[in-house]
Structure 1
Amino acid sequence: MKSVFRYLLIFALLVGALSAYSYGNQTGVFLFVLLGFVLEAGFWFGLFPIKRRNQR
C-alpha cells in the first residue's frame, strides 16, 4: 500500500508541474512557472530518494 501511495503522489506532482508550467506560459504569470519548478523538483526527489548509509 505504501508504494501505491508513493506512485500516486509522484504522478500527481508531475501532473501538477506540467499544469503549472502550461498555465504560467499561457498567462505570462511567472509565479506559476516557479510553482511548476518546485513541483518538478518534488517529483524528481520523490522518484529518486536520497539513500543514506549507516556510518559506524
Structure 2
Amino acid sequence: MKALGRLALILVLLFAALFFYSMGMKSGAFLFILLGFLCEAGFWLGIFPLKRIKTSS
C-alpha cells in the first residue's frame, strides 16, 4: 500500500505541475510558474529520492 500511495502522490505532483505551468502561460502570472516548478521538483525528487549514507559514530 505504501508504494501505491507514493505512486499516487507522484502522479498528483506531475499533473499539478502541468496545470500550474499551463495556467501561468495562459495568464502570465509568475506565481503559477513558480508553483509549477515546485511541483515538478517534488515530482523528480519523488521518483529519485536522495540516498542518505549511514555513518557509524
TM-score (norm 1): 0.95
Q: Give the RMSD, CA atoms, in angstroms.
A: 0.6
Residue 43 of structure 1, CA deviation:
0.4
Q: Distance in 2 between matches of 1:30 and 1:54?
A: 40
Residue 55 of structure 1, CA deviation:
1.4
Structure 1: gaps of 5 or more residues: none
Alignment of 1:11-50 (within 5 A): 11-50=11-50
TM-score (norm 2): 0.94
Residue 7 of structure 1, CA deviation:
0.2
Structure 2: gaps of 5 or more residues: none
Count of matched residue positions in the alignment of Structure 1 and Structure 2: 56
Q: Distance in 2 between matches of 1:23 and 1:54?
A: 42
Percent identity over the alignment is: 54
Aligned equivalent of 1:55: 55
Q: Deviations over 1:7-32 (max 9, x none)?
A: 00000000000000000000111100
